[in-house]
Structure 1
């Protein structure tokens, strides 16, 4: 079954790193500023009332402020429409896209300490990668790609020439 290029990938608690990469590219393809909102958080028009910051009344927003709020709403809509009911329930209390994205990350990838442990394990798998004796090239490449893509999902990209060398050295002499 193929995925529409007009709809975000659906996510319901399976293959988070795959969904995360596809969703990142999907959002960037619509408007790169959507991705900026997710990474940096939205700019919410606030005003100071005494010692506290409160949301500014909508009729006082500048066009730029209104556009920023609109981009956050658009990104939230896309993210929430891409989630199954159980995933939606986990993030439905979030106020903006950065909170949603970060919460999904913690739920499915863990805290920074857990991420570092996972990165370490994936790097170990990468370094020790060899073709299994009863494995064909396609299965080996799929297993290798999974490790590399999971590393990329954690922000650990490996240069193409290193990947090619690693694959070649992973082959048996025969």
Structure 2
């Protein structure tokens, strides 16, 4: 903003302002003084109008009562200093969130990356300079143990300094999917094995039941024969 007004030779009136004379003082001005005052007032209103154009509705309402551009500028300076303090506090909070964030055991790669990138984008919006290398290093340090092997492979390949966030996400998702496929195959094999064992057990149970029935029948038959001989 200072550069904009400076390029138009208007910064002096923004920064220093001018003294508005009382009606009695103005009546005592000569023609040259009146012309100079008229030019100054016109410049002041011009800059004030330009300043209004750069503001959102909420900020505009906070300076709408200003009668000169210097008064408006001084009010904005106070507002922005307060906002800068709020921004610094918010930055400190976001930096802590970024530092302590770790992947949860129940999270997948997509969800964890999404959570980290929300923090990263908020940091950037609040003025923090943060590049891909810093984010990549953070993610690699905070993954769960199930990614230990792929982390070692990436670090040994010296990919960390050149790896983009999206590329890292792709590598980790491939690794995650492979592990998930192995788990699904193992689960399927376990289910099939359980079914086979259950079927075998059912066959054994049926065989035992039949043997028991046969034995019972023989006992009853033997008893009848014994009574017949008597």
Instruction: Tell me the TM-score normalised to structure 1 length.
Output: 0.46
- Structure with the higher fraction of residues in strand conformation: 1
RCO (CA 8 Å, sep 6+): is it higher in 1 or 2?
1
- Structure with the higher fraction of residues in helix conformation: 2
CA radius of gyration, larger in: 2
